[in-house]
Amino acid sequence: MTDPSPTHRWRGVLAVTLVAGGLALVAKRPALLLSAVVGVVFVAYARVTPPPSPAIELDRGLDGASPSHGDRVDVTTTVRNVGDRTLFDLRIVDGVPPALAVVDGTPRHGTVLRPGESATFSYAVAARRGRHRFEPATVVARDLAGSWEAEAQIDDATVIDCTTDVPAAPLRGRTLEAVGRVLADDSGAGTEFHQTREYRRGDALSRVDWNRYASTGDLTTIEFRKEQAARVILVVDARPVAYQAPEGEPHAVSYAVAAAGQLARAIVDNRNHVGLAAFGREPCWLEPGTGRNHALRVQQRLADHAAFSARPPDDAPSVADQAKALRARLENGDQLLVLSPLLDDDVVETVRRVEAEGTPVSVLSPDVTDADGGGRTLARIERDHRHRALRRARVRVVDWDPARPLSVAVTDAMGDRQ
């Protein structure tokens, strides 16, 4: 909370009073001098009122914290004066998530609160796909004369979670020497059929293909594909060029950040390792790890780190430089899952280079183009070309229309591969 500061609201009255009084004395106008006295009263009143020292608590409630895309969510915000002085002029502007629009009511409220009193106001937002954290509410308290004011940002970390569980992330085959659920290219412990080979002494009887033995008399052993863990780095494209969207819609970075959270959960649920990085305003790196606690760390980093801010940056280092720094951190066996709307050629070139250097890359691309004529149509066509260029470079690309659940896009893409 900021210190109370003078607003200088009454300085104009002071000026008029002094000018009127001075003129009255010089021009010998008693009536004018008398009128200046009124101004003196106002100025003195503003000077004697003490600055406000507000003590406020804020509580925010949602009628549904996990709505579907497009649903209306009613938000009820309550502010309470927990101090011992009356707040004569209290103005509250709730911190609506930047990617959501207010569709009913207003997130602003002005009120007078006696000690212990509370005030409640409501409004509604339209849910959009993603995990939307409310920003701190802005509270401004002024004294009775309006000559002092104190400002505060109050956060209660409310989240509208408009995401669904994703069964699996679209990963490539490269694995670690640990058990996970990514199918390795060689055979071993697993559940998916890999091949049959001639029986060798010591093979388990449960692995013998008895049907084949019955029909042909050949003794063969069934081999399954080995399931191993993958080490995946989620890379969110949060450069200025990624902060684009049709009017009134969330931008691509908000979709990418939400998807990264969902995919991180899916990756650790499948006993794989997940790390986090960003192409954005400042470097971000979270060492890969596994387990539910690590998934929570990823979520926390996505919510707190400046690189994933909902507001676009003015500038960012080149993606090639950032990719170079990222490659220096990668270990043998790592693979990247880049979340990018693919709205420029630089990111495509970077992904192709990383893939060519031997690190497998998958791309999940939220589609924020709308083909609404002119440049907008051109943007969609160019994006299609970038997809094609990546696929030609053997990069796996999942095209995600954010109007559809991420799980559907991922399942479709994995179905296409199989």
Partner 1 sequence: MTTAPSTENRVALVGRILLGLVGILVLVVAVVADGPVRGTVNALLTLFGSEYLLVAGIGLVAFVAGVAAVVSSREAATQTRTPDPERVVAVPAPGESFDETAADWRSLLPVAGREHRTAVREQLRRTAVETVAVADDCGRETAAQRVAEGRWTTDDVAATYLAETADLTDVTDEESWFELVLGGQTPTEYRADRTVSAIADVAGVAEGDEEGKGGEEDKESEEAER
Residues in 141-160 at the binding interface with partner 1, rule: CB under 8 A: 149-152, 154
Nearest approach, Cβ of 342 to partner 1 (angstroms)? 10
Instruction: Take residue 354 and report the two structure tokens written for it.
Output: 């990383």
Burial class (CB in 10 A: 0-12, 13-18, 19+), 84: exposed
Kindly state the DSSP code that residue 241 receives in the 8-state scheme.
Answer: G
- If one asks whether residue 366 binds partner 1 (CB under 8 A), the answer comes out as no
CB closer to partner 1, 106 vs 120:
106
Q: Which of residues 118-137 bind partner 1 (CB under 8 A)?
A: 135
Of the candidate spans 114-122, 196-204, 322-330, 362-370, the one that interacts with partner 1 by CB under 8 A turns out to be: 362-370
Is residue 38 at the binding interface for partner 1, with CB under 8 A as the rule?
no
Q: From the list 30, 202, 358, 373, which residue makes contact with partner 1 (rule: CB under 8 A)?
A: 373
In single-letter form, the type of residue at position 287 comes to E
Q: How far is the CB of 388 from partner 1 (least distance, A)?
A: 7
Applying CB under 8 A, the site for partner 1 has a residue count of 99
Q: Give the count of beta carbons closer than 10 Å to the beta carbon of residue 123.
A: 19
Site string for partner 1, 277-316 (x = CB under 8 A): ---------------------------------xxx----
Answer for which of 337, 369, 390, 400 binds partner 1 (CB under 8 A) is 369
> What residue type is 171 in one-letter code?
L
Locus of tokens 């109050």: 154
Q: How far is the CB of 359 from partner 1 (least distance, A)?
A: 26
Among 95, 130, 275, 360, binds partner 1 (CB under 8 A): 95
Contact with partner 1 (CB under 8 A) among 164, 187, 196, 221: 164
Closest CA to 143 of 28, 6, 13: 6
Using CA atoms, how far apart are residues 265 and 17, in angstroms rounded to an integer?
Answer: 67
Kindly tell me which of 109 and 396 has the beta carbon lying closer to partner 1: 109
Instruction: Say if CB 231 and CB 335 are below 8 A apart.
Output: yes
Q: How far is the CB of 244 from partner 1 (least distance, A)?
A: 5
Q: Closer to partner 1 by CB, 2 or 216: give it.
A: 2
Q: In Å, what is the CA distance from 196 to each residue of 200, 215, 263, 274? A: 12, 15, 34, 33
SS3 string of 145-200?
A: CCCEEEEEEECCCCEEEECCCCCCCCCCCCCCCCEEEEEEEEECCCCCEEEEEECC
Residues 237-256 that bind partner 1 (CB under 8 A): 243-251
